[in-house]
Structure 1
Amino acid sequence: MTMLGVPLWAVLAGVALYVAVAAAAVEVAWHRGLDALTEAGAHRLDLYAASLRSELGRYEILPAIAARQDSIKALLEAPPDARRALLPGVNEYLEAVNGDAGSVAVDVIDLNGDVIAASNWNQPVSFVGTNVAYRPYFADSLSSGSGRFFGIGTNTGQPGLYFASAVRGAQKVLGATAVKISVDPLESAWRVPNEAAMVVDGNGVVVISTVPAWKFTALAPIAAQKQQQIQASRQYAGHKVENLGYARLDDWRNGAWFARLPDWSHPGRERRYLVMSRSAPQAGDAIMVALDLSAARRQQQLAFAFVTGAFLIAVLYALYAMQKRRVIAERLAAQDALQRANERLEATVQQRTAALVLANERMQQEIDERVLTEQKLRDSQQELVHAGKLAVLGQMAAGLTHEINQPLVAIRTLCDNARTFFERDQPAQAIANLARVGKLVDGMANLTAELKAFARKPDGRTVPVALADAVAHARLIHEARIRDEGVHVDVAIPPDAVVEAEPGRLQQVIVNLLGNSLDALAGRDERRIRIGADRSDDPSRVLFFIADNGPGIDPQVLAHLFEPFVTTKPRGHGLGLGLAITSRIVEGFGARISAVNPEGGGAQFTIEFVAANGGRTDSEQEVEPAGP
């Protein structure tokens, strides 16, 4: 009987070998993982013991130093009525000592256990007036000279470690000094992933823990009598100490053991941990670490995966060898068929090659046609921009006729007067009239030159252009309308506002925007237009704006204002192409145009131009004139 051509007995033997090797590898990996955890735990305990010893050593001597101060002895020796004059100096001294040491509080306690001076004397929660006679550290300091105690503050509710030292006079003990330190820095420094560290006091209660839920819980149930003693000393602020739910299981090597504890990452569950312990610097206390077993389990999984992978590779190699034998036999038989297939393939390739050549020729024709179409499209866009410019000229025809007719009438009158003066033999008056005729002709020439420059087709290249010159030429084209309609135009453009643009197209953009602003002011009592420019936050950009005090732009139209055939003018007064053409021209400069309705009313168009030559000043660049 065979499976995939392999005898059944060989398959069963391979499975048995795989199970045995996998089980052995998993067991070895588990032991090595636990040993690594044990070594890491021992190292952690050394670090925690050293840090705890260092932290305690910093503050343990502090009460004894304070007890030697003459001002504190004088305060304790003085009658209660005379202490009031000594208290400010002692309080300030204790406050300075507490600030320098970084402790929670430093106190002076009389023989009755009353705190008569404290570093927090001027704070909302002050220890002054508190009686601590019930605290063991006070009784120990009076009896043996010093005392230690871990407990929760009855005033603040904050846990801390207390050190106390007796204050001795010439003949007797006068009282005690005490310092309270916080254990929060230790808990923060000890917090490490996949590990819980804690300090257990002589009562078996967890007083310091990197797992907040474990603090002030007992590793074993506390007898009722012991509970009463704890309640009397208010060591844990009068709270009944609950059981943590700790259960010691099997022992391991090097002083480590397995224990069941609440899962710190999943409240309400329990997990098995590897636990190690060491005596703490404070008598009766112990430092414990609970190590997560997930690292050892990962070692097991890696070992299992390695053995499984090795066996799979061996099985695949065996199957590959068997398959290779069959492939060789089949390959010899297939060579003749392959030769025949190659011959057919060569014929097919020749046919496909001919078809590809023909397809490439057609594709090249389509590319040439598309390039020609794109060129025609660009030409059409140029014609559209030019047509928009001519449309503006048509709209200004009536005003320009008035501007030209007035000088012509004046010229005719002046010429008639000059002839009369010549007939009267008054050449001086005749020559003065002819000089005035010359000035009128020059003005008409300037106007027609502006119109000619505005109407000519652009050459398409961008050069540095001064915005002030462009605005001046555009304003000249609309000068008659501005004057006749009584529009006040305020222009504030600095001389160094020079941008990259094509002069003719830039003039067309400003003429279009100025014409739109004039249209928007129709029917308004007060008509104002502001034109200005300023540097942007980016030195390579220049901001240009035209604003009016008209009715503004309909918000529904504002979002589509620069699309073709979108207009705010009445039917028959525009096709809606002016702003679309303006937007295309501005984009051709590498600039951006936008429109808003300012808070003060009206409408404002803003163009963000590229500053000429990276934003250099006019003295550093050659500026192209914007007019003719």
Structure 2
Amino acid sequence: MRYKGIPWWGWAAAAVLYVGAAAAAVEFAWNRAIDALADVGEHRLDLYAASLKSELGRFEMVPALVARQDSVRALLKASPDEARGMLPAVDTYLEAVNDDVGSGAVDVIDAHGTVIAASNWNQPVSFVGTNVSYRPYFKDALAQGRGRFFGIGTNTGVPGLYFANAIHDGDTAIGAAAVKVSVDALESAWRTPGEAAIVVDSNGVIVISTQPEWKFTAMRAITEPQQRDIQASRQYAGRIVEALQFRRVGDWNESAWIGIFPDPRRAGDTARFLVMSRPAPQGQDTIMALLDTAGARRQQRIAFAFVTGVFLIAALYALYAVQRRRVIVEKLKAQEALRRANDQLETTVAQRTAALTQANAQMQREIAERERTEQRLRATQQEIVHAGKLAVIGQMAAGLTHELNQPLVAIRTLCDNARTFFERNQPAQAIANLERVGRLVDSMAVLTSELKAFARKPEVERVAVSLGEAIAHARLIYESRIRDEAVRLDVRIAPGTTVYAESSQLQQVIVNLLGNALDAVRDASTRVIAMEAGEADAQGRVRFTIDDTGPGIAPDVLAHLFEPFVTTKPRGQGLGLGLAITSRIVEGFGAKITATNRDEGGARFTIEFAAAEPQRTEHGR
């Protein structure tokens, strides 16, 4: 079995070699990077230890120097009355010492643990009067001669390191001198991007940290007895010490291990650190340096990418060689196949040319036939529209006969009267009758001219047509029916409303819709037909509606209302072509017609026309 011309065992061997080389390169890069990081960590620990010793060492001797001051010992041995006179001098001395060494505060404490003199005696927050008998540094100073303690100030809430020395009168400890040192300068000096430096006290609690959120958390679980001792000494201002959320994932050497800690740069995320530690130069504290291993992981990725790139280049070269060989073989085969194909192509071209010529001739005949069919279809559509008009005229025959008979009877009567007036030698009355005959003939001419214009086959030309005039023409045709059937016609058309249509076809649309509405309200108790159109909207459309108070349209008919031969009229009273013709005419205008049932009863037909600017006449120019 081969793939790309190489057997499967070749691919398998290459994959095994790639995996082995990549794993070895990644491991080598990791070890080398961590070794380099460990060297940096050792250097960092040296610097931290030296700075800790230098920074704190200069304060460690301050309590011993204060304890040897005669005025301090005298203050502790004096009676209360004598002490009041000595106190200002001692306070001034302690203030000067504090200013000289740059410490946080310098105190003198009596044997009962009460601060009787302090460098901040004249400040808003003064230590004078504070009892520190519960503090370990005071207890250790009285018991062992000196004490050392890290805690949070009960008065200020500011963390610091306390050094204390006993003050003796002979062999008896009569009090203690203490100095408080801030570690903020150390934390600022140790702060380095991508690293963290911490000092852990004997309780396992972080007391100095370049990461503020880690401060006063524990590197190990705090037992209940430890918690009680911490609360008793108020070392951390009464707060419950919680363990720092980290996980030890592996050892590197005797003094270094790998751990996953909260990422100080991204809240809620974690980072992997190389952790190195050594004892602090003073006390039982431990200095720890945490170095981010992101650089080592980056070296791993670089090594992996390098090995992958080398193997990809080798694989591409092997594929290129195999492909080149295949190309040469295929080229030779292709030349032979091309020769045979060329011979066959000449024969095929001759055959296809003849077939193409024949197909082209057949296509030309089909195109001509289709054009003739389309012409016949357009002519047929015009005939259908005209037939629809004639059908409407046929339906109106009875009403028109009535309209014409009345004037004819009146004309006959007036003519007879005119002859009688002439015989009686009354020409004035005869002339008046003849004028009335003329007016009756004019009204009959208007009606017949409307019918002739409605029945005429239109020239299909889309122009600006007055919607109000089209409705007036249709209303005139149905005037007698509207009057005889007592139908109230409510027309609300905005003045000057023009639409894009053909004049006679638009009249036919209005006549069809008005005739259907008259049929719908024939048997209704309330006979109202409303036609309405407003001004053009923002899209340039005019919305025309015609509502009736009839019974509405059945739901099963409504979905197919504009299809041919669909009608709601009784058999013999309609062919079902009126609305189909109306729909085709409206679509020819580029408009859209819809039908719905009104909530209050009856039907509503809506046509959305394209608005048009009114055509100007010669007089309007």
Query: 1:606, CA displacement in angstroms?
Result: 1.1
Query: 1:597, CA displacement in angstroms?
Result: 1.7
What amino acid is the match of 1:462? R
Query: 1:424, CA displacement in angstroms?
Result: 0.7
Matched, 1:312 2:315: yes
Query: 1:450, CA displacement in angstroms?
Result: 0.7
Q: Which secondary structure does the structure 1 equivalent of 2:373 belong to?
A: helix
8 A Cα contact 2:26 2:300, kept in partner: no
8 A Cα contact 1:231 1:240, kept in partner: no
Query: 1:311, CA displacement in angstroms?
Result: 2.6
Matched, 1:259 2:257: no
Deviations 1:290-341 (A, max 9, x none): 989999988777656544432321111111233345456656xx54x74454
Q: In structure 2, do the counterparts of structure 1 residues 546 and 289 end up closer, same or farther at CA, with 3 Å as the change threshold?
A: farther
Query: 1:496, CA displacement in angstroms?
Result: 2.4
The equivalent of 2:601 in structure 1 is 601
Query: 1:522, CA displacement in angstroms?
Result: 1.5
Deviations 1:476-531 (A, max 9, x none): 01111100000000111111211111011111111111111101102112211111
The equivalent of 2:616 in structure 1 is 622
8 A Cα contact 2:565 2:575, kept in partner: yes
Q: In structure 2, do the counterparts of structure 1 residues 295 and 461 end up closer, same or farther at CA, with 3 Å as the change threshold?
A: farther
Deviations 1:77-118 (A, max 9, x none): xxxxxxxxxxxxxxxxxxxxxxxxxxxxxxxxxxxxxxxxxx
Q: In structure 2, do the counterparts of structure 1 residues 310 and 473 end up closer, same or farther at CA, with 3 Å as the change threshold?
A: same
Query: 1:557, CA displacement in angstroms?
Result: 2.1
> Which runs of structure 2 are paired with 1:565-580 in the superposition (5 Å)?
565-580=565-580
Cα distance in 2, alignment partners of residues 502 and 496 from structure 1: 17
Query: 1:378, CA displacement in angstroms?
Result: 1.8
TM-score (norm 1): 0.58
Q: In structure 2, do the counterparts of structure 1 residues 223 and 324 end up closer, same or farther at CA, with 3 Å as the change threshold?
A: same
Stretch moving more, 349-358 or 224-233: 224-233
The equivalent of 2:130 in structure 1 is none
Q: In structure 2, do the counterparts of structure 1 residues 350 and 600 end up closer, same or farther at CA, with 3 Å as the change threshold?
A: same
What amino acid is the match of 1:445? A
Query: 1:564, CA displacement in angstroms?
Result: 2.0
8 A Cα contact 2:509 2:585, kept in partner: yes
The equivalent of 1:65 in structure 2 is none
Deviations 1:428-474 (A, max 9, x none): 11111111111111111111111111111121111111111111111
The equivalent of 1:375 in structure 2 is 375
8 A Cα contact 1:404 1:444, kept in partner: yes
The equivalent of 2:438 in structure 1 is 438
Deviations 1:132-156 (A, max 9, x none): xxxxxxx989822x669xxxxxxxx
Deviations 1:397-416 (A, max 9, x none): 11111111111111111111
The equivalent of 1:522 in structure 2 is 522
Q: In structure 2, do the counterparts of structure 1 residues 330 and 363 end up closer, same or farther at CA, with 3 Å as the change threshold?
A: closer
The equivalent of 1:461 in structure 2 is 461
The equivalent of 2:248 in structure 1 is 247
8 A Cα contact 2:222 2:241, kept in partner: no
The equivalent of 1:407 in structure 2 is 407
The equivalent of 1:545 in structure 2 is 545
What amino acid is the match of 1:321? R
Report how many residues are paired.
Answer: 436
Cα distance in 1, alignment partners of residues 399 and 7 from structure 2: 108
Q: Which secondary structure does the structure 1 equivalent of 2:260 belong to?
A: strand
Cα distance in 2, alignment partners of residues 315 and 7 from structure 1: 12
8 A Cα contact 2:563 2:580, kept in partner: yes
Q: Which secondary structure does the structure 1 equivalent of 2:574 belong to?
A: coil
Query: 1:380, CA displacement in angstroms?
Result: 1.4
The equivalent of 2:508 in structure 1 is 508
8 A Cα contact 1:596 1:603, kept in partner: yes
Q: Which secondary structure does the structure 2 equivalent of 1:274 belong to?
A: strand
How many percent of aligned residue pairs carry the same amino acid? 54
8 A Cα contact 1:592 1:607, kept in partner: yes
8 A Cα contact 1:524 1:550, kept in partner: yes
Matched, 1:556 2:550: no
Deviations 1:13-40 (A, max 9, x none): 97787567655665689899999xxxxx
8 A Cα contact 1:22 1:304, kept in partner: yes
8 A Cα contact 2:414 2:433, kept in partner: yes
Cα distance in 2, alignment partners of residues 258 and 597 from structure 1: 77
Cα distance in 1, alignment partners of residues 386 and 351 from structure 2: 53
Give the greater-gyration-radius structure (CA): 2
> Which runs of structure 2 are paired with 1:32-111 in the superposition (5 Å)?
none
What amino acid is the match of 1:384? I
User: Is there any run of 5+ residues in structure 2 with no aligned partner, and where?
Assistant: 36-150, 160-199, 276-288
Query: 1:6, CA displacement in angstroms?
Result: 9.0
Cα distance in 2, alignment partners of residues 406 and 230 from structure 1: 123
Stretch moving more, 535-544 or 595-604: 535-544
The equivalent of 1:451 in structure 2 is 451
What amino acid is the match of 1:531? M
> Which runs of structure 2 are paired with 1:122-133 in the superposition (5 Å)?
none
Query: 1:535, CA displacement in angstroms?
Result: 2.6
Cα distance in 1, alignment partners of residues 427 and 341 from structure 2: 112
Q: In structure 2, do the counterparts of structure 1 residues 363 and 246 end up closer, same or farther at CA, with 3 Å as the change threshold?
A: same
Cα distance in 2, alignment partners of residues 241 and 531 from structure 1: 84
Cα distance in 2, alignment partners of residues 581 and 4 from structure 1: 69
The equivalent of 1:274 in structure 2 is 272
Query: 1:377, CA displacement in angstroms?
Result: 1.5
Cα distance in 2, alignment partners of residues 581 and 248 from structure 1: 86
What amino acid is the match of 1:429? Q
- Equivalent of 1:143, from 150, 155, 174? 155
> Which runs of structure 2 are paired with 1:410-425 in the superposition (5 Å)?
410-425=410-425
Stretch moving more, 373-382 or 487-496: 373-382
Cα distance in 1, alignment partners of residues 479 and 3 from structure 2: 101
Cα distance in 1, alignment partners of residues 413 and 34 from structure 2: 118
Q: In structure 2, do the counterparts of structure 1 residues 14 and 547 end up closer, same or farther at CA, with 3 Å as the change threshold?
A: closer
Q: In structure 2, do the counterparts of structure 1 residues 140 and 22 end up closer, same or farther at CA, with 3 Å as the change threshold?
A: closer
Cα distance in 2, alignment partners of residues 344 and 588 from structure 1: 55
TM-score (norm 2): 0.59
What's the RMSD between the two structures over aligned residues? 5.1
Q: In structure 2, do the counterparts of structure 1 residues 142 and 9 end up closer, same or farther at CA, with 3 Å as the change threshold?
A: closer
Q: Which secondary structure does the structure 2 equivalent of 1:318 belong to?
A: helix
Cα distance in 2, alignment partners of residues 452 and 5 from structure 1: 89
Q: In structure 2, do the counterparts of structure 1 residues 18 and 505 end up closer, same or farther at CA, with 3 Å as the change threshold?
A: same
What amino acid is the match of 1:319? V
Stretch moving more, 367-376 or 388-397: 367-376
The equivalent of 2:351 in structure 1 is 351
Q: In structure 2, do the counterparts of structure 1 residues 570 and 240 end up closer, same or farther at CA, with 3 Å as the change threshold?
A: farther
User: Is there any run of 5+ residues in structure 1 with no aligned partner, and where?
Assistant: 36-138, 149-200, 278-285
